[in-house]
Structures are given as C-alpha cells and as structure tokens.
C-alpha cells in the first residue's frame, strides 16, 4: 500500500517513480516503519549462521541512476527503509556468484547470466548478534549495468522481502546516505562502501575525446614493427602447408582469448562491429588485446539484449545490459569458476582419488561448476534449486571445452601434414591434430622436440602464466617461422654443455640431476605468432614427464629479439645506464643471455623429493609462485652459466662486462610489463637483490651502473638461494623471497619514471606481412 507523498524527504520539487509490491506505481513517499522485532543493526537478511553476504546493484547507464528496494521483511530491523537493489547471505555450500544470481531472481524476478555480474569490491562490515559486535561480515558487492532503466512494471517483487522499488540518481543517493537520512539503510559513504560511487563516477567522467586520448596514450606504449622472413628455403609443398598453418594459428588466438576471460569473444565481436562508428570505439577494439593491463571498464564493454530476463512489458524490447568487465584481471582467468577460491578448489581436490587429483591439477583441462552450467543452460529457470559446493566442481578436458575450435584446427593441421615435404613436420602435425581431439599431448610433444624442418611450427597448449591462481593450466599458442640454419649451427655449444652446467650449479650436490639431456636449439625467423605470450624465445615442453625423460627443446626468435633490442632495450640503456657503460649494451650480449636463459630452464630442480620422502615437482609445490621464480632462476642462473663458460674458455671473456650491463638494462624492460606478470616480478626480484648487494649502483644523476667487482658473487648467491628453494619445494621460502624483493622499490621507480618521460615503448606490436597476406588471400 502506498504511503502519503512527503516532498520534505527529497530535494525540493524532485519526484521519483516507485513500484510497490502490489504493482501500484506511485510517487516517492516516506515509508511507514513496520512494527517489527528489532534485530541486528547492519544485518542484511542475516540468519545468524553465516558471515558472508552478496550485495547486487542495478545501475542504469543512460540516467546514472541506481535501483533501490524498500525492505519488507518483518524480521528485519531495516524493514520499510530503502536499500540495495538486492542482497542476501551466502548459504553453506553456495558460491558468491550463484548467490548473487539467485538473490536477484528471487527478490526482483530478474534472471541474468554470469556475464551481467561485475564484482567491484568486497568490504568488511561490523554486525551485531545477541548484542555482541562481530567484525566478520564480508560483503561481495556486484554491479549490473543496464543501458536504460528497467521499467518498474517488469519487476516481480518477493513480497516477504521487498515492498517497492525505485530509481534514484547516484548523486542523490550519496547525498541521503551522507546525511544519514532515516528512510535509507545506512552505509558509510566515506568508508569502504564509498567505493561504489567512486568506481561508477570514474567510468563516466571523461568525454569521448578525453577517453580516446587516454586509450591512445596506452597504445603508444607499444612500438609497431614489421616482421618477415626469407621463404626461398621452403619447398613448394611447405609453402602450401604454411597457408594452412597460419589459418590454424588464428584458431589458437580464438581459444586463447576464451581462456583469458570468458567474455572476450563477445567483447571482441561487439567492438569490431562498432569500430567504424567512432575513433573511441576503434581504439577500444585495438586495446582489448592487451594482456597485461585492462584498458577498458564495463562502461566500454559489449552490450547484450536479454528479452526474457524479466516478465514482459508492452513496448519494451527487454533487458539490455553491458557485459561485466573485471576491474582486476581474474587470477584464475577462465580456467576456473570466476568466484572459486583456492580453499574451495583444495577442499574439492583433496576429496578425490589420487588419479583424479592429478587430473584436476593437470595442464589440459578446465574446472567448471555443475550449478553454473545449469543456470547458464536455462537462464529463465527458477534459481532457487541452484546450489554450489566443493562437490559442485568438475573437470572438463580441453578437447571437450574447446571442441569445435580444436576440431577445425585439427583438420587444418592434418591437411598441412599431408602437404609438407618434411617427414618430421608431417609427424608433428598429424600427432598434434590427434592430441587436439584426444587431449593426450605426450606423443605430439615428443614429435615437436624431434622436429627437423625448415618450416618450424610450435602449436598447442603450453605456458601457464595466465593461471595466476595455481599455475596449473596451459594456454594455447602458435609460433610459425623459418629455421635460420646458420644461427642454429652456431648455438650447439649451449646444448652440449647442459650436463656440465648442471654438475657445477651453485647448489648442494644432493639436489643435482645425473642425467640432464642436452636441449636441442633451433633459431627461427618468426612469420606468425598467435595466442599466448609475445616472447623472444621459449623452452618446451613443460610436461615434467618429458622433461625428466627427454629434457626440453628451445626455440629462439631472432628477428623478434632484434626488434626488441633496437626499439626498446637500446633506448632504455640510453636513458637509464651511466654514460661510461652505455656502449656495453649490445645485441650479441642480449641474445646470448636469452639463449642461456632458455637453456637454464632445462637444468636445476624439476622432479623433486620432499622432506617426507614423497615425490613431487617444483611446479606443484610452488603453485602460483612457480612461474615468477622459474623465470628469475633462468635469468640469474643464465648469467652464472655464461660466466662459467667464459672461465672454461668456451666463450670469449670480453663478453662479461657487456653481459652484465645488458642484463641491467633488460631488468627495466621486463619490470615495465608489471609486477603481476611472471617475467616482471622475477626481474624485480633479481634487480632488487643485486642492488641490495651493491652489484647494481644508482648514481646521483639517476642513472645505473654495474659494480663488476661485486656482481659475480651476487649472481652466484641469488642463484643458490632460488635453486635451493626449488629443490626443497619450499613455498613459504619462495613467498618470503618474492615478498621482499619482487616489489616496486624506489630505485626501480626512478628508472620507470625516466622511461615514462621519454616514452620508451613497453613492447612491440609485430606486423606479420607474409602471414597477413596469406590470411587476406584465404578470406
């Protein structure tokens, strides 16, 4: 029943529409407080058993208004007051996202898929139970962004919970909360809850021109460069195979984007369709590919129409919303449910039999929820029966999760294998096609290691950098190039010395391996790269079974290295390295250390024995810390190894100074990727450690130099520390080391500020002229 309209409760002459639970549409009114039992202050649908809740806000972009509900629960001390769009506690066995979806459906009759819900922050709220303060009420705050306000007639209100709904401007809602208006459930707008207003306002404060400039500045951090290769060494059959391989590689891109974030495909499609409408939309399309930093927000995201999200309203086309864009890159990417945490995963994993535990932690599958699948399959269904629990999780192999894309790629690989004149390439492509469909990559990885072909191909799921939750899951990638036979022949030295390097590592002998297999090294000129990282080299496979039995194989991308040195490392040295040492930064030193870095992935601990006698691997024990520490190991042990080879007269000794100074300049290059990225964090660890030991020096003019008298011992010391942590599988020691040194320190800030001033690029954006022409011809 509508109460009397009282304009003294709002701005003078301002009026709001309100829908009551009876369906009556009225003006804004001061509600009468129902006579209820006075329960816990700040209590949101609390039943006294659980200490985590969800808040769901519906925000209308075109009018900058929030939807509020008037609470009707007689057991609630806030009954009759205006509150969040929807809220409720997370019941035992439920996940946060499922709870948010259910609460919105139950209270307002709005049924939405997961991509409508953006988790914008979590805040801690004091609650009172039985007169006692309990400081443990965590609240997950979700935002649903619609294009226009939802007609009030479209809502179906749960009478026991909600007596009315209305829209109120963001500015007005903040004002009434700041004034502690008695008709509104109180929230501290100057405290944690004030983030709601800050986040929304920040997204819409810039006009299109300013937003374009901001995005353009981000894009300017990347230097465009053309990468090509000489194809005269390829047979006519291999050139035919190349056409098919480039097309297959583009499918790796599609899978990779799905793996990084589940809404990437819809965002890309929407931005591509809108790219010609304005300069801003064009820039959004270009910037959505950046893998290290979110250029966009939900305000930039794709728009979807869901006609059946609510009950129909004549003349209204339906629920139009923006797909939620994560404020922070999801640590589990799209390998796990978006609201799954480590504890839930581990509880579920530990309940499984041993072989199933290994499958859950395996490279080539994703983890999904039965309950999430149910809700996605039938968006319009009643959410009340959808629950989650540790047993709600289950494993889906890549071959099933990405079936249609992998089947298409497998067909192309098989056709390419039929055409190529190289028997080893034919074997690789056919076995990889089989692996895409069977999810067993062992044979295809062996075939890749034994590849001996002018046309060089790496394709499939390999690196685990995107899985920042555990470091278990591999992303799809592709590297297609032409082998540089001359450069490959020159690098045989490093592969031949791996066992010698292992034997002499700065590490207790008990942890050393007696049978390190020399890593074959191939140098290629890159023709096309898709999915995964844009790197100068890689050392694969990551499968510990193969590493233990067969070692690894390394591929160097020489034209990529040359481009990064010319466009990034040399300009960094000109700004950050002291003048007397600047000329020591050269490409040969940079490229040689890159080679040694990749070789050193193949030595040191991999399969290990824990203190309790159990066999394990470094990757499984260090989990999400593994990638950063492994990259740091390969770097710093690579420096140690080069010095060792010089002392054995296997490399010229005059390389030493250039090696150390080029490495110092390279520290600043990698740290600019960000400390959440494995290479950047690992590089920060090394720089800060060597700086603390006095091996790196900051001069009064804010340039850096190497103390050649201290750097050798410091490199050996850090190498020993990292290798020992890996050998013991000591995650706590790894965490301590990374927390102390893998941070943004004052010296690093000095360097990055200087680089920002002169706008040295962060990375390159390759233009693959030959591959692009192939794709144009195909299309």
- Among 422-426, 600-604, 758-762, which stretch is predicted with the lowest mean pLDDT? 758-762
- Looking at the predicted structure, is the pLDDT value of residue 714 above 90? yes
Tokens at 473, concatenated: 């899951």
Q: What is the pLDDT of residues 225-269, one digit of tens each?
A: 999 899 999 999 999 999 999 999 999 999 999 999 888 888 888
Between the two ends of the chain, the Cα-to-Cα distance in Å is 63
Q: What is the DSSP string of 522-556?
A: EEEEEEEEEES---SEEEE---HHHHHHH--EEEE
pLDDT of residue 248: 98
- Looking at the predicted structure, is the pLDDT value of residue 417 above 90? yes
- Among 29-38, 191-200, 485-494, 501-510, which stretch is predicted with the lowest mean pLDDT? 29-38
DSSP H stretches of helix in 482-625: 485-490, 492-496, 498-503, 544-550, 558-564, 570-576, 579-582, 587-600, 618-622
749 within a domain of the structure (yes/no): no
- Looking at the predicted structure, is the pLDDT value of residue 746 above 70? yes
Q: Which of these, 619, 291, 634, 341, lies nearest to 475 by C-alpha position?
A: 291
Q: Which of these, 536, 755, 768, 550, lies nearest to 634 by C-alpha position?
A: 536
- Among 29-33, 590-594, 756-760, which stretch is predicted with the lowest mean pLDDT? 29-33
Average pLDDT over residues 360-365: 96
pLDDT of residue 534: 79
Q: Classify burial at 658, counting beta carbons within 10 Å of its beta carbon; exposed 0-12, middle 13-18, buried 19 or more.
A: buried
pLDDT of residue 580: 96
Higher pLDDT, 137 or 502: 502
291 within a domain of the structure (yes/no): no
**Strand 476-483 to 455-461 pairing:** antiparallel
Confidence category of residue 621, pLDDT binned at 50, 70, 90: very high
Confidence category of residue 285, pLDDT binned at 50, 70, 90: low
Q: What is the DSSP string of 699-732?
A: -TTS-EEE-TTTHHHHHHHHHHHHHHHHHHT-HH
Per the prediction, the chain carries an average pLDDT of 86
pLDDT of residue 514: 85
CA 206-209-212 angle, 5° bins: 90
Query: Cβ contacts of residue 286 below 8 Å, gap of 6+?
Result: 215, 219
- Looking at the predicted structure, is the pLDDT value of residue 493 above 90? no
What count of other Cβ atoms lies within 10 Å of the Cβ of residue 244? 22
Tokens at 463, concatenated: 């690196």
Kindly report the backbone phi and psi dihedral angles of residue 715, in degrees, each rounded to the nearest multiple of 5, phi listed first: -65, -45
Determine contact, residues 382/395, Cβ cutoff 8 Å.
no
Determine contact, residues 594/564, Cβ cutoff 8 Å.
no
Average pLDDT over residues 492-507: 90
DSSP H stretches of helix in 109-235: 170-178, 195-204, 208-219
Average pLDDT over residues 526-548: 87
Higher pLDDT, 591 or 78: 591
What count of other Cβ atoms lies within 10 Å of the Cβ of residue 567? 17
How far is residue 664's CA from residue 501's CA, in Å, rounded to a whole number? 23
Average pLDDT over residues 683-693: 96
pLDDT of residue 126: 60
Average pLDDT over residues 273-281: 74
Tell me how far CA of residue 724 lies from CA of 139, 157, 214, 604, 608, in angstroms. 41, 61, 45, 9, 11
Q: What is the pLDDT of residues 4-14, one digit of tens each?
A: 223 333 333 33
78 within a domain of the structure (yes/no): yes
220 within a domain of the structure (yes/no): no
Percent of the chain with pLDDT over 90: 60
How far is residue 683's CA from residue 630's CA, in Å, rounded to a whole number? 11
* Residues found in the chain: 779
**Domain of 30?**
15-204
pLDDT of residue 669: 85
- Among 131-140, 240-249, 276-285, 700-709, which stretch is predicted with the lowest mean pLDDT? 131-140
Dihedral, 591, 592, 593, 599 alpha carbons, nearest 10: 110
CA 338-264-349 angle, 5° bins: 30
How far is residue 364's CA from residue 454's CA, in Å, rounded to a whole number? 29
- Among 286-295, 418-427, 517-526, which stretch is predicted with the lowest mean pLDDT? 286-295
Helix (H, G, I), strand (E, B) or coil at 123: strand
- Looking at the predicted structure, is the pLDDT value of residue 51 above 80? no
Confidence category of residue 41, pLDDT binned at 50, 70, 90: very low
Q: Which helix (H) or strand (E) holds 26?
A: strand 25-27
Helix (H, G, I), strand (E, B) or coil at 144: strand
pLDDT of residue 36: 30
63 within a domain of the structure (yes/no): yes
pLDDT of residue 605: 93
Query: Cβ contacts of residue 248 below 8 Å, gap of 6+?
Result: 409, 412, 413, 416, 459, 478
Kindly report the backbone phi and psi dihedral angles of residue 319, in degrees, each rounded to the nearest multiple of 5, phi listed first: -75, 110
- Looking at the predicted structure, is the pLDDT value of residue 42 above 60? no
Tokens at 752, concatenated: 């990055």
Tell me how far CA of residue 319 lies from CA of 84, 148, 305, 466, in angstroms. 19, 9, 6, 33
Average pLDDT over residues 278-301: 68
Confidence category of residue 74, pLDDT binned at 50, 70, 90: low
132 within a domain of the structure (yes/no): yes
pLDDT of residue 635: 94
Q: What is the DSSP string of 206-222?
A: S-HHHHHHHHHHHHTTE
Query: Cβ contacts of residue 41 below 8 Å, gap of 6+?
Result: 77, 127, 128
**Number of domains observed in the structure of the chain:** 1
- Which range has the top average pLDDT, 19-28, 102-111, 201-210? 102-111
Average pLDDT over residues 58-68: 98
Percent of the chain with pLDDT over 70: 87
CA 242-564-461 angle, 5° bins: 45
Higher pLDDT, 454 or 92: 454
Long-range contact list for 715-721, CB < 8 A, 24+ apart? Answer: 715/636, 715/639, 715/640, 715/643, 715/690, 716/506, 716/640, 717/506, 717/693, 718/636, 718/686, 718/689, 718/690, 719/505, 719/506, 719/507, 719/633, 719/636, 719/637, 719/639, 719/640, 720/506, 720/507
Higher pLDDT, 504 or 37: 504
Helix, strand, coil shares of the chain as percentages rounded to 5? Answer: 45, 20, 35
Q: Which of these, 741, 745, 749, 744, lies nearest to 717 by C-alpha position?
A: 741
Q: Classify burial at 350, counting beta carbons within 10 Å of its beta carbon; exposed 0-12, middle 13-18, buried 19 or more.
A: exposed
Determine contact, residues 464/424, Cβ cutoff 8 Å.
no
pLDDT of residue 373: 65
Confidence category of residue 75, pLDDT binned at 50, 70, 90: low
- Looking at the predicted structure, is the pLDDT value of residue 593 above 70? yes
Q: What is the pLDDT of residues 191-216, one digit of tens each?
A: 888 999 999 999 998 777 887 888 88
What's the CATH code of the domain at 196?
A: 3.90.79.10
- Looking at the predicted structure, is the pLDDT value of residue 694 above 90? yes
Confidence category of residue 38, pLDDT binned at 50, 70, 90: very low
639 within a domain of the structure (yes/no): no
Question: Which segments of 272-327 are extended strands (E)?
Answer: 303-306, 319-322
Helix (H, G, I), strand (E, B) or coil at 94: coil
How far is residue 461's CA from residue 472's CA, in Å, rounded to a whole number? 12
Query: Cβ contacts of residue 612 below 8 Å, gap of 6+?
Result: none
Handedness of CA 436, 439, 440, 445 (dihedral sign): positive
Query: Cβ contacts of residue 738 below 8 Å, gap of 6+?
Result: 625, 628, 629, 681, 685
pLDDT of residue 678: 79
Tokens at 234, concatenated: 């390829």
Long-range contact list for 471-474, CB < 8 A, 24+ apart? Answer: 471/619, 471/622, 471/623, 471/624, 471/625, 471/626, 471/627, 472/335, 472/361, 472/362, 472/363, 472/619, 472/623, 473/259, 473/333, 473/335, 473/363, 473/365, 473/366, 474/363, 474/364, 474/542
For the chain, state the CA radius of gyration.
29
Determine contact, residues 20/163, Cβ cutoff 8 Å.
yes
């Amino acid at each position: 029943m509508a109460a009397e309209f009282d304009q003294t409760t709002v701005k003078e002459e301002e009026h709001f529409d309100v829908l009551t639970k009876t369906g009556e549409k009225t003006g804004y009114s001061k509600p009468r407080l129902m006579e209820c039992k006075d329960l816990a202050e700040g209590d949101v649908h609390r039943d006294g058993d659980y200490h985590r809740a969800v808040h769901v806000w519906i925000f209308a972009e075109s009018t900058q208004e929030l939807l509020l509900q008037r609470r009707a629960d007689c057991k609630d001390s806030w009954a009759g007051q205006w509150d969040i769009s929807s809220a409720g506690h997370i019941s035992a066995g439920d996940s946060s996202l499922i709870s948010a979806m259910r609460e919105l459906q139950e209270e307002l009759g709005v049924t939405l898929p997961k991509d409508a819900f953006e988790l914008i922050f979590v805040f801690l709220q004091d609650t009172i139970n039985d007169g006692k303060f309990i400081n443990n009420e965590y609240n997950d705050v979700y935002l649903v962004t619609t294009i226009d306000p939802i007609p009030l007639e479209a809502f179906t209100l749960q009478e026991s919970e909600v007596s009315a709904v209305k829209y109120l401007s963001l500015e007005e809602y903040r004002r009434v909360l700041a004034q502690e208006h008695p008709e509104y459930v109180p929230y501290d707008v100057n405290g944690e809850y004030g983030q709601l207003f800050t986040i929304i306002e920040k997204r819409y404060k810039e006009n299109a021109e300013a937003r374009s400039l901001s995005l353009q500045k981000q894009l300017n951090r990347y230097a465009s460069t053309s990468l090509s290769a000489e194809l005269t060494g390829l047979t006519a059959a291999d050139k035919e195979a190349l056409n098919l391989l480039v097309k297959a590689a583009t499918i790796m891109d599609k899978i990779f984007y799905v793996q990084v974030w589940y809404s990437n495909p819809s965002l890309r499609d929407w931005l591509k369709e809108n790219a010609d409408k304005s300069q801003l939309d064009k820039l959004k399309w270009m910037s959505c590919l950046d893998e290290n930093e979110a250029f966009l927000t939900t305000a930039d995201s794709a728009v979807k129409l869901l006609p059946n999200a609510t009950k129909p309203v004549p003349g209204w086309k339906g629920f139009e919303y923006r797909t939620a864009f994560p404020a922070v890159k999801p640590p589990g990417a799209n390998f796990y449910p978006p609201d799954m945490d480590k504890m839930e995963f581990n509880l579920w994993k530990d309940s499984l039999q041993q072989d199933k535990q290994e499958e859950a932690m395996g490279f080539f599958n994703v983890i999904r929820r039965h309950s999430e699948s149910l809700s996605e399959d039938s968006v319009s269904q009643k959410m009340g029966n959808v629950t989650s629990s540790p047993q709600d999780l289950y494993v889906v192999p890549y071959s099933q999760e990405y079936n249609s894309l992998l089947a298409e790629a497998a067909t192309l690989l098989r056709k390419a294998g039929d055409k190529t004149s190289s028997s080893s390439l034919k074997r690789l492509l056919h076995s990889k096609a089989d692996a895409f469909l069977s999810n067993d990559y062992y044979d295809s990885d062996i075939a890749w290691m034994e590849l001996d072909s002018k046309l060089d191909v790496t394709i499939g799921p390999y690196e685990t950098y995107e899985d920042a939750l555990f470091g278990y899951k591999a992303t799809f990638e592709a590297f297609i190039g032409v082998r540089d036979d001359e450069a490959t022949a020159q690098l045989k030295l490093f592969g031949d010395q791996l066992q010698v390097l292992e034997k002499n590592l700065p590490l207790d002998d008990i942890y050393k391996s007696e049978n390190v297999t020399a890593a074959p090294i191939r140098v290629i000129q890159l023709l096309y790269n898709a999915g995964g990282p844009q790197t100068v080299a890689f050392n694969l496979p990551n499968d510990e079974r193969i590493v233990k039995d067969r070692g690894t194989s390394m591929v160097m991308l020489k034209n990529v290295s040359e481009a990064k040195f010319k466009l990034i490392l040399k300009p960094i040295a000109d700004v950050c390295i002291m003048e007397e040492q600047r000329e020591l930064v050269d490409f040969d030193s940079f490229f040689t250390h890159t080679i040694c870095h990749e070789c050193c992935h193949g030595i040191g601990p991999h399969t290990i024995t824990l203190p309790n006698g159990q066999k394990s691997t470094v990757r499984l024990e260090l989990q999400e810390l593994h990638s950063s520490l492994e990259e740091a190991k390969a770097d710093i042990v690579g420096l140690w190894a080069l010095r060792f080879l010089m002392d054995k007269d296997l490399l010229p000794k005059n390389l030493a100074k250039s090696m150390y100074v080029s490495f110092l300049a390279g520290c600043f290059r990698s740290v600019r990727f960000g400390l959440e990225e494995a290479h950047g964090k690992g590089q920060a660890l090394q720089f800060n450690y060597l700086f603390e030991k006095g091996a790196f020096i900051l001069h009064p003019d804010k340039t850096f130099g190497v103390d050649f008298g201290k750097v050798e011992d410091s490199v050996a010391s850090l190498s020993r520390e990292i290798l020992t942590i890996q050998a013991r599988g000591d995650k706590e020691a790894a965490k301590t080391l990374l927390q102390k040194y893998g941070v943004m320190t004052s010296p690093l800030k000095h360097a990055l500020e200087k680089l920002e001033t002169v706008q040295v690029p962060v990375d390159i954006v390759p233009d693959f002229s030959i591959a692009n022409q192939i794709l144009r011809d195909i299309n």
